[in-house]
Amino acid sequence: MPTKAGGWQEFKDSFKPMKSIEVDTEGMTDLEKAAVLTAASPLSRKLKSRHLQMIAIGGSIGTGLFVGSGVSLSTGGPAAVVIAFILIGSMLFATVHALGELAVTFPVSGSFSTYSSRFLDPAWGFAMGWNYGLQWLVTFPLEIIAAAITLNFWDPEQKYNPTIWVTIFWVVIVTINFFGVKGYGEAEFFFSLVKVVAVIGFIILGIVIACGGGPKGGYLGAKYWHDPGSFAAGFKGLCTVFVNAAFAFSGTELVGLAAAETANPRVSLPKATKQVFWRITLFYVVSLAVIGCIVPYNDSRLISNSPVDASASPFVIAIFNAGIGGLPSVMNAVILISVLSVGNSSIYGCSRTFTALAEQGQAPKFLAYIDRSGRPLFGIIFSSVFGLLCYLVASDKQGAAFTWMLALSGLSSIFTWGSVCLCHIRFRRAMKVQGRSLKELPFRSAVGVYGSWYGFILNCLVLSGSFWVAVWPIGRSPNAEAFFSSYLAAPVVLISYLGFKIWKRTPFIRAKDMDIITGRREIDLDILAQELEEERACIRSRNFGYRLYKFWC
């Protein structure tokens, strides 16, 4: 609460609407108006480089790695886990570089849905915006429920009513987001730092255990890769892990969504984009390769009915097997922090997406409200109120609600990533058709259009693999409930797209008609191209080690 004279009035004034940048939209088409309004959005620009760096490194490290990897190991075996995560990681590397190029060039409100509307089809932009917004909308109450379940590790008899915990978690996360983008950035910086330290510490510990250095001793090496084996269910098991790996990386794209609220995206975003390589290599592939060496895939504890059950985490199981006391509780605390981190990102991702949709006329207009502090106030309130579904934790319908909300958000990231790759392909095509030089791009994808084609095709394969596993699940007969609990997001996206397409009769945007200017913060492209060339020439003049560092970091 402000204490200085006039502080209360300033506090109240901060909730008044932000004065938008004056733009004349008279005579523009709906698509042109949407492009201008998302580019002129008065969102706060307070995210710093260190925030983006940590969001990029730790943004997607969560229950998918700490707990979900146990299901993947049990289903596919250690070799399937490593292969699947390398393939999906390479796809994400290409996808995030494509997103980085678009986001640095056009740091506009809404990111994914805005690019789909401008470079593909406004109807697809509508479908992708609502798909992504709904993903985070349902994820928020899910993560609060998950956080309460995580506490059962210390309270197995549930002496305390779980509604106490969901109330505390809801208040904490909502309060953080009411501090605006800086509150989100600082919280994510802390959450991600804890997760990164935990994963690095576990990798070191896992290597020690594999070499026989644990209290129980005994050299393990690659023993479990031979007995019980490298693969648990052959090719179908690999496909299942392939799908699970894609879900584990959800949240990677948040760096692109944050571009509109970054102080200097031309400097900060390229660095954050390049961090993806290190996250994929170190935090996922290396840690899971170590897990495969110290936990057998036929360990019965890997199977659990809850996606946040710490006792089913291969990280926790490995520590138990080694006879190390105390550390399982530490890992459960890390899992709890990871869950809260995703909940924090949920309000951020949902509020910004719906605000951008409202600015484009694709969501209720009141969601476009941005106050003088640069916060999408009604978007945050809307997300927070929906989060009250977390009180289902006290209901006997908790399991069913959890399953169907998870089904609604399950495939959302796959559609988002595939759309980003296709937007990048179409954007590069427009650059070529309109005679623009790639030299005027502040940041270029390290893998170019070929990388985007690779990412797009691999995303399509993940969707196909998801369909196969949903129709014919391992160890079960095909049934409608199993299918829709895994594949519900796909018909929702299809209905959204076709409904908007028929209602608005939107055209597919041709390359020659694409707007590749609106939304750039650097207006004079000739001066920008000259500055970029000077920067690149400076890098070329340095030694090989420095050039290698600048390419990867």
Q: Quick check: is 477 in a domain?
A: yes
- Whether the pLDDT of residue 20 is over 50: the answer is no
- Note the pLDDT of residue 171: 92
- Whether the pLDDT of residue 49 is over 60: the answer is yes
Lowest-confidence pick of 125-129, 152-156, 162-166: 152-156
Report pTM: 0.87
Q: What is the DSSP string of 291-329?
A: HHHHS-TT-GGG--SSTT-GGG-HHHHHHHHTT-SSHHH
What CATH number corresponds to the domain at position 286?
1.20.1740.10
Q: Which of 53-57, 205-209, 249-253, 522-526 has the highest mean pLDDT?
A: 205-209
Q: Which residues contact 279 (CB under 8 A, 6 or more apart)?
A: 56, 57, 58, 60, 61
Q: How many domains in the chain?
A: 1
- Whether the pLDDT of residue 174 is over 60: the answer is yes
Higher pLDDT, 396 or 498: 498
- Whether the pLDDT of residue 426 is over 80: the answer is yes
Higher pLDDT, 213 or 394: 213
Amino acid at 170: W
Tokens of 232: 């648990």
Query: Which residues span the domain enclosing 150?
Result: 44-521
Q: Quick check: is 72 in a domain?
A: yes
β-partners of residue 17 are 371
Instruction: State the Cα–Cα distance between residues 327 and 308, nearest whole angstrom.
Output: 17
Instruction: State the Cα–Cα distance between residues 439 and 430, nearest whole angstrom.
Output: 15
Instruction: State the Cα–Cα distance between residues 96 and 257, nearest whole angstrom.
Output: 11
Q: What is the mean pLDDT of residues 343-362?
A: 86
Instruction: State the Cα–Cα distance between residues 413 and 59, nearest whole angstrom.
Output: 14
Q: Quick check: is 276 in a domain?
A: yes
Q: Quick check: is 325 in a domain?
A: yes
Amino acid at 52: L
- Note the pLDDT of residue 433: 93
Q: Quick check: is 474 in a domain?
A: yes
Q: What is the mean pLDDT of residues 269-281?
A: 76
- Whether the pLDDT of residue 17 is over 70: the answer is no
Q: Give residue 170's pLDDT band: very low, low, confident or very high (50, 70, 90).
A: very high
Instruction: State the Cα–Cα distance between residues 462 and 456, nearest whole angstrom.
Output: 10
Q: Quick check: is 24 in a domain?
A: no
Q: Which residues contact 229 (CB under 8 A, 6 or more apart)?
A: 77, 297
- Note the pLDDT of residue 484: 77
Q: Quick check: is 436 in a domain?
A: yes
Instruction: State the Cα–Cα distance between residues 238 and 85, nearest whole angstrom.
Output: 10
β-partners of residue 481 are none
CA dihedral sign of residues 356, 129, 403, 455: negative
Q: Quick check: is 250 in a domain?
A: yes
Task: Tell me if 416 sits within 8 A of 99, measured CB to CB.
Answer: no
Higher pLDDT, 98 or 62: 98
CA dihedral sign of residues 394, 398, 402, 408: negative
